[in-house]
A = this chain, B = another copy of it.
């Protein structure tokens, strides 16, 4: 947007509905000079015009609308079921679970069922390279352990969750809340993955109306 277009937009925001003549007057320009700018602003959706009324601001900018919508999508409404293995499960068991459940990341839970660690497809691939006795290696040896795990809360926005996935270069975020009986423990209530985000992206593009 040019300086002049920004100026026009501000005038219409402050004084609209306002005629083209009146905008031109305020800018000490002719109506003809402004015509291209007004056309661009109208076509791009910033302004709307009505005969005998003039130009008025056509609402929030697209970026604001989109950003607001994204921040209103909550993790709790999009989270998937967490796929877990017990801390004492073997690497072999974990690989079988990964294939059966068709996921990229497994969450490891302790005896009380609280989140203890995370093990990725890559961790399992690394462990299986050259190792034969995968049945004898407990998954807790190769997992990333709490508290070194990035998690998210159910009331966080999906936008924040996506930002964590990108910023920390991870594929999966456990959705947790502090356990009732012991707030230092994390109760596992879901997972958000890049698949969750891609699905939300498709949903956003598919809904013509909210």
Contact = CB atoms under 8 A, between A and B. Distances in A.
Nearest to A46: B59
Contact of A162 (B121, B163, B201, B208): B201
A3 to B, nearest CB: 15
What's the dominant secondary structure at chain A's contact region? helix
A136 interface: no
Given A70-B201, A166-B195, A95 B129 contact: yes
Interface of A: 16-17, 45, 48, 50, 53, 56-71, 95, 98-99, 102, 104, 121-122, 124-126, 128-130, 132, 134, 158-159, 162-163, 165-166, 169, 171, 193-195, 197-202, 204-210
Contacts of A45: 59-60, 65
